[in-house]
Amino acid sequence: MKKILASGLTLLLLTACGSEQTGTTQETKAPDQTEVKEDSQKPSESAQAEENQSETDVKPSKEVVQTQDYKINEANWSITPIGDANPKVVLLTIDDAPDRQALQMAKDLKALNAPAIFFVNGHFLDTPEEKETLKKIHDMGFMIGNHTYSHSSLRDLSPEEQKTEILSVSDLVESITGERPKFFRAPFGQNTDYSRQVAADEKMSLMNWTYGYDWEKQYQNKEAITDIMVNSPFLNNGANLLMHDRTWTSEALPDIVKGLRAKGYETLDPNRIKTIE
């Protein structure tokens, strides 16, 4: 059984990441995935007024010094405890933000007191409105990670292009939130020797994932993605859960969190993960 799960995990990691081509501890490239876009609906004036009011009610979290009692296991990208910290935790991560659903996802997570990392792409931070969305997510207390500017495969870029892809996002995030990202997730999980060095120079820890499914056609609805995220055979202590800024994932997110907690898992605050000093 252990051999079956291990081979299954390798296969899963090799097919990961939404619009991303692949995600893998082996960092192997796979064919492009077609990203699904959905038309947004314009809210009524009364609904918009209510939305604006609810956003003004959100107050920035006070900065709290957290004990860094977990670390990233780069052998499988799980989160492992240091010392006697609770081993039964999961890490929630949201990639490709802030596209269309990130703010609502942040609000739903905030209501459940469920921390997460939002990994952002620079091409979703081109307008004042997009920058304001990211500021709101940050001010709700969520950690912001670097997912490169254009979500291009770093292996296809020159060293100078890789550097621009990474540093431009850190600069953008800092200009919006006042903080530079502490975590870097390469598109498709594909780092290069050069991108690893850039991340290290920037004092960003590398992060891939344990499992994720929301880019696969059969999981692009609320019920299916909820079920697989909660009942995946790869759910275990320290699982690093990959999700994306997608409509179906946003709709499922509260039930995913509740389902994980019903199984006894704590949703880990990423501030408790030891990063590069």
Domains of the chain: 2-28+63-272 (3.20.20.370)
- Backbone φ and ψ for 93, nearest 5 degrees, come out as -135, 140
Q: Are 259 and 111 a contacting pair, CB within 8 Å?
A: no
pLDDT, one tens digit per residue, over 217-252 is 999 999 999 999 999 999 999 999 999 999 999 999
44: which residues sit within 8 A by CB, 6+ positions away? none
Predicted confidence band of residue 277 (pLDDT cuts 50, 70, 90):
confident
CA 21 to chain centre: 16
Residue 64 reports pLDDT greater than 70: no
- 79 pLDDT more than 60: yes
Q: Are strands 89-97 and 70-73 parallel, antiparallel or unpaired?
A: unpaired
Q: What is the pTM of this model?
A: 0.79
Question: What local confidence, expressed as pLDDT, does residue 61 receive?
Answer: 42
Identify the three-state secondary structure at position 130: helix
* Strands 205-206 and 78-81, sheet pairing: unpaired
Contact 203, 277 (CB under 8 A): yes
Average pLDDT, the chain: 84
List pLDDT tens digits, range 115-162: 999 999 999 999 999 999 999 999 999 999 999 999 999 999 999 999
